[in-house]
Amino acid sequence: MSFTSYNFLLFYFIVFVLYWTVRERRWQNLILLAASYYFYGSLQSWYAILLGFSTLVDFFLARGMAARPERKRSLIWVSLLVNLGVLAFFKYYNFFASDVITFFGDLGIKTDPFITNIVLPAGLSFFTLKKLGFMLDVSRGTLKASPSLIDFALYVSFFPQLISGPIDRAQSLLPQIEAARVWNSSFFLNAWPLLVMGLFKKLVIADSIQILVGRVFSTQDPSGILLLSGSLGFTLQILADFSAYTDMSRGMALLLGFTTPENFRQPYLSISPTDFWNRWHITLSTWLRDYVFFPVQRSLMRSRFRFNRLVIAATPPLVTMLISGMWHGARSNFILWGLYWGVLIVLYQSLGIRGDWKPASIGKSLLAWVVMFFLIVFSWLIFRAPSTTWLFHALSISVLPPSRSEFIFSLIILSTILAYAIPMMIHNLLDRSTPESWGRAVFYAVAFALVIVYSNAAPADFIYFQF
How crowded is residue 39: how many other Cβ atoms within 10 Å of its Cβ? 23
Interface residue with other proteins, options 214, 355, 359, 402 (CB under 8 A): 214
Least distance from other proteins to the Cβ atom of residue 113, Å: 6
Least distance from other proteins to the Cβ atom of residue 327, Å: 20
- Euclidean distance between CA atoms 287 and 133, whole angstroms: 7
Please say whether the beta carbons of 240 and 326 come within 8 A: no
Q: How many residues bind other proteins (CB under 8 A)?
A: 52
Q: Is 440 in the site for other proteins (CB under 8 A)?
A: yes
Least distance from other proteins to the Cβ atom of residue 102, Å: 13
Please return the burial class of 200, using the count of CB atoms within 10 Å of its CB with bins 0-12, 13-18 and 19+: buried
Q: Is 220 in the site for other proteins (CB under 8 A)?
A: yes
Helix (H) or strand (E) holding 88: helix 72-92
Interface residue with other proteins, options 37, 39, 217, 277 (CB under 8 A): 217
Least distance from other proteins to the Cβ atom of residue 64, Å: 38
Q: Is 390 in the site for other proteins (CB under 8 A)?
A: yes
Q: Print the binding letters for residues 367-386 with other proteins: x by CB under 8 A, - otherwise.
A: -------------------x
Please say whether the beta carbons of 73 and 103 come within 8 A: no
Q: Which of 368, 382, 339 is nearest to 272 (CA)?
A: 368
Interface residue with other proteins, options 74, 405, 428, 433 (CB under 8 A): 405
- Euclidean distance between CA atoms 198 and 168, whole angstroms: 19
Written as one letter, the residue type at 323 is: I
Buried residues in 292-311 as b, exposed as e (16+ CB within 10 A): bbeebbeebeeeeeeeeeee
Interface residue with other proteins, options 269, 419, 422, 425 (CB under 8 A): 419
Using alpha carbons, list the distances in angstroms from residue 224 to 172, 229, 394, 410. 46, 9, 8, 10
Q: Is 92 in the site for other proteins (CB under 8 A)?
A: no
Query: Which among 82-90, 113-121, 330-338, 367-375 is the span making contact with other proteins, rule CB under 8 A?
Result: 113-121
Query: Which among 17-25, 81-89, 300-308, 412-420 is the span making contact with other proteins, rule CB under 8 A?
Result: 412-420
DSSP state of 432: T
Q: Is 63 in the site for other proteins (CB under 8 A)?
A: no
Please say whether the beta carbons of 269 and 235 come within 8 A: no
User: First CA to last CA across the chain, in angstroms?
Assistant: 16
Interface residue with other proteins, options 269, 408, 422, 429 (CB under 8 A): 408
Rounded to 5 degrees, φ, ψ at 22 are -85, 135
Q: Is 118 in the site for other proteins (CB under 8 A)?
A: no
Please say whether the beta carbons of 83 and 72 come within 8 A: no
Interface residue with other proteins, options 219, 286, 332, 398 (CB under 8 A): 219
Least distance from other proteins to the Cβ atom of residue 164, Å: 17
Query: Which among 4-12, 134-142, 156-164, 264-272 is the span making contact with other proteins, rule CB under 8 A?
Result: 4-12
Nearer to other proteins by Cβ, of 193 and 317: the residue is: 193
Q: Where in 308-367 is the site for other proteins (CB under 8 A)? A: none
Nearer to other proteins by Cβ, of 24 and 112: the residue is: 112
Please say whether the beta carbons of 32 and 159 come within 8 A: yes
Nearer to other proteins by Cβ, of 216 and 368: the residue is: 216
Least distance from other proteins to the Cβ atom of residue 92, Å: 18
Give me the count of residues in the chain.
467
How crowded is residue 356: how many other Cβ atoms within 10 Å of its Cβ? 9
Q: Is 441 in the site for other proteins (CB under 8 A)?
A: yes
Angle at Cα 22 formed by Cα 18 and Cα 26, nearest 5°? 110
Least distance from other proteins to the Cβ atom of residue 170, Å: 33
Q: Where in 130-189 is the site for other proteins (CB under 8 A)? A: 185, 189
Nearer to other proteins by Cβ, of 70 and 112: the residue is: 112
> C-alpha dihedral over 66, 67, 72, 78, to 10 degrees?
-100
Query: Which among 30-38, 245-253, 342-350, 446-454 is the span making contact with other proteins, rule CB under 8 A?
Result: 446-454
Q: Is 38 in the site for other proteins (CB under 8 A)?
A: no
Q: Which of 465, 353, 439 is nearest to 119 (CA)?
A: 465
Interface residue with other proteins, options 302, 358, 404, 432 (CB under 8 A): 404
Please say whether the beta carbons of 158 and 260 come within 8 A: no
Chain residues binding other proteins by CB under 8 A are 6, 9-10, 112-115, 117, 185, 189, 192-193, 214-215, 217-221, 386, 390, 404-409, 411-412, 414-416, 419, 435-436, 438, 440-442, 444-446, 448-449, 452-458, 461
